[in-house]
Amino acid sequence: MSLISKAQQPDSNGRIQHVTSESAGWEYVGFDAYLLKKGQSLKLSSGDKELCLVLVAGFASVKTRHAEFPNLGKRLSPFERIPPYSVYVPHNDEVEVYADSDLELAVCNAPSKGNLPARLIAPEDVGVEHRGKGRNQRLVHNILPDNKEADSLLVVEVYTDEGATSSYPSHKHDQKTSPDETYLEETYYHRFDPEPGFAMQRVYTDDRSLDECMAPYNRDVVTVPRGYHPVATIAGYDNYYLNVMAGPVRLWKFTWEKDHAWVNSDKYPRSK
């Protein structure tokens, strides 16, 4: 089964990506992406899932059964590198999104049985951090981290400059019974500036029973069912990706691949 979902032309609802737990061959994470024209509306039912709607680019008004969030939006491109507006939608709810401008919308979903209300996640609610050193630096926007309320979903967006690496040193979170890891399925929704760019992403396990290297292009999705999953950018093209994670325990706990963990240490950057 392929671990990459290529971006499609928008369907009648503007959808360009549709990853389900069935299509990915796992249990928890679902992901959709939409390109809506100004004035277009989108209706969704959450069913037995919780949703996190992320305004990747553009402006929108969002309405659920019990809440309204009008006039949302702060950026016309994710590469403005300011945190986005997002909306959390509980299970068994209905949501309508109205595009106040051309809109790029990500809809993240995972199983839910809780009773949390719909809520706005404003830019000022998003934790901003810089990780890494040397050519392994990136900017992180924590949209829905494990210290914020949700039943299953973890959502984060990451910026990696040209020629740098991210999701590195290689790490994994695929064990359900380990004291050192939590089991989290993960998707990467890739964007590039300029748009013709691509990155290299490898997904692999210690025993190499899974070992795939992919070249995601603009708006492609890479699925990570298990194993390590580093990303390397190509000179000339900055990379953005939106991560969605979920599993039986809502906690981001991972282990580094031993061979490369030193990159996080004082030994890096190495003297020349």
**pLDDT tens digits, one per residue of 176-233:** 999 999 999 999 999 999 999 999 999 999 999 999 999 999 999 999 999 999 999 9
Residues 113-135: b if buried by 16+ CB within 10 A, e if exposed: eeeeebbebebeebeeeeebeeb
Query: What do you get for the CA distance between the two ends of the chain, in Å?
Result: 43
Q: How many angstroms separate the CA atoms of 222 and 244, rounded? A: 11
Q: Is the pLDDT of residue 272 over 50?
A: no
Reduced to 3 states (helix: H, G, I; strand: E, B; else coil), residue 187 is: strand
Q: How many angstroms separate the CA atoms of 61 and 46, rounded? A: 17
Asked whether the beta carbons of 218 and 190 are under 8 A apart, the reply is yes
- Would you state the pLDDT for residue 267? 75
Find the helix or strand (DSSP H, E) in which 160 lies: strand 154-160
Residues 236-265: b if buried by 16+ CB within 10 A, e if exposed: ebbbbbbbbbbbeebebeebbbeeeeebbe
Q: Is the peptide bond before 269 cis (omega within 30 degrees of 0)?
A: yes
Q: Is the pLDDT of residue 68 over 80?
A: yes
Tell me which of 1-5, 47-51, 69-73 is least confident.
Answer: 1-5
- Would you state the pLDDT for residue 270? 63
Q: How many angstroms separate the CA atoms of 105 and 137, rounded? A: 26
